Amino acid sequence: MKNELNAIKEKALLALSECNDTETLESLRVTYLGKKGELTAVLKKMGGLSAEERPVIGQLANEIKGQLEARIEALKAEIGKKQMYARLEKEKIDITLDGDLKKLGKKHPLNTVLEDIENIFIGMGYKIASGPEVEYDYYNFEALNIPADHPARDTQDTFYINDKVLLRTQTSPVQVRVMENQKPPIRVIAPGRVYRSDEVDATHSPLFHQIEGLVVDKGITMSDLKGTLEVFIKRLYGEDSVVRFRPHHFPFTEPSAEVDVRCFSCGGKGCRLCKNEGWIEILGCGMVHPKVLEKCGIDPEVYSGFAFGLGLERIVMRRYNIDDMRLLYENDVRFLNQF
């Protein structure tokens, strides 16, 4: 029996020496040490041994069992370690490789200039107001003193949703919405998108941006309008800018004016930028028409106000020397990265 035990031991150690994965190791453990294993089978026969032999064989069997168990444990640890190293090797990342650089976007030039303009007016105590782009005919035209048959409507043809609803052609309707909802003193600017059914070309787009301004209070006069807009234009174009007010007509202001700045390219001599005029038109403005105040529930005998409106695209194009408006909407990063 001693020989039988030693043979089992040799066979087991040999098998274990060739084993290098956990599954084989487990099956070897079952084969030799399991309940139905070879060593157990030998031990079961110990009943037939003599009283002298039994402790000797018992001790030997226990020794062998202990040795095999220790070997199996050691192997288990060794295989586990090898597997861990193999896994680490597989998961290794090369930190010297270039990263996947994400390109960061930039502020659109329209937004850069809009924020500059907003900040100038916020600095003068104005609030930012807004209104819907899908607007009622009433706010876009009627309430601004532009009745159904008024010729001003022809120059602002737009996209109609139905008889009463359209895409706003100007930010001026926000004036009406603000006056309906707010008691004077009012001091707001209202930037936003506007629409006209214009053909797309280098200087026209069916969608563009305007910035509206409105001030209503007691005792507001044309000199407040002139002073405010002069400060605005000097902040935008530099303190040495020269500003002029030219009489004009808008249905919702009386009197009305257009404001020009002396051409900053030629200084007034006349060049391509100012189309040889020496002046560049910046905005339209005027004293809010009493009829408009009345329509909004503000008593024109008590209050007066001024309003102005300017196109954002033209200011942006001049500032950055952009000669085609379409570039502003294409969102080509090669173009946008230049600003």
Q: Which residues bind ligand DAH (CB under 6 A)?
A: 170, 172, 212, 250, 253, 284-286, 307-309
Q: Give me the residue whose beta carbon is nearest to ligand DAH.
A: 309
Q: Using CA of residue 171, residue 175, residue 176, residue 177, what is the dihedral sign?
A: positive
Query: Considering beta carbons, is residue 232 or 308 the nearer one to ligand DAH?
Result: 308
Query: Considering beta carbons, is residue 16 or 285 the nearer one to ligand DAH?
Result: 285
Query: Considering beta carbons, is residue 61 or 243 the nearer one to ligand DAH?
Result: 243
Query: Considering beta carbons, is residue 195 or 279 the nearer one to ligand DAH?
Result: 195
Query: Considering beta carbons, is residue 170 or 228 the nearer one to ligand DAH?
Result: 170
Q: In the bound complex, what is the minimum distance in angstroms from residue 287's beta carbon to ligand DAH?
A: 8
Q: In the bound complex, what is the minimum distance in angstroms from residue 188's beta carbon to ligand DAH?
A: 11
Q: In the bound complex, what is the minimum distance in angstroms from residue 288's beta carbon to ligand DAH?
A: 8
Distance CA 61, CA 45 (A): 12
Nearest residue to 117 (alpha-carbon basis) of 238, 281, 236:
236
Q: In the bound complex, what is the minimum distance in angstroms from residue 133's beta carbon to ligand DAH?
A: 14
Q: In the bound complex, what is the minimum distance in angstroms from residue 286's beta carbon to ligand DAH?
A: 4
Nearest residue to 281 (alpha-carbon basis) of 309, 258, 249:
258
**Cα angle: 216, vertex 220, 221; to 5 degrees:** 135
**Cα angle: 307, vertex 311, 315; to 5 degrees:** 120
**Cα angle: 164, vertex 167, 171; to 5 degrees:** 110
Query: Considering beta carbons, is residue 158 or 253 the nearer one to ligand DAH?
Result: 253
DSSP SS3 for 232:
helix
Q: In the bound complex, what is the minimum distance in angstroms from residue 216's beta carbon to ligand DAH?
A: 12
DSSP SS3 for 31:
helix
User: For 311, phi and psi rounded to 5 degrees?
Assistant: -95, 130
Q: In the bound complex, what is the minimum distance in angstroms from residue 218's beta carbon to ligand DAH?
A: 20
Contact 306, 286 (CB under 8 A): yes
Give burial (CB, 10 Å; 0-12/13-18/19+) of 320.
Answer: middle
Query: Considering beta carbons, is residue 285 or 296 the nearer one to ligand DAH?
Result: 285
Give counts: helices (H), strands (E), the chain: 12, 9
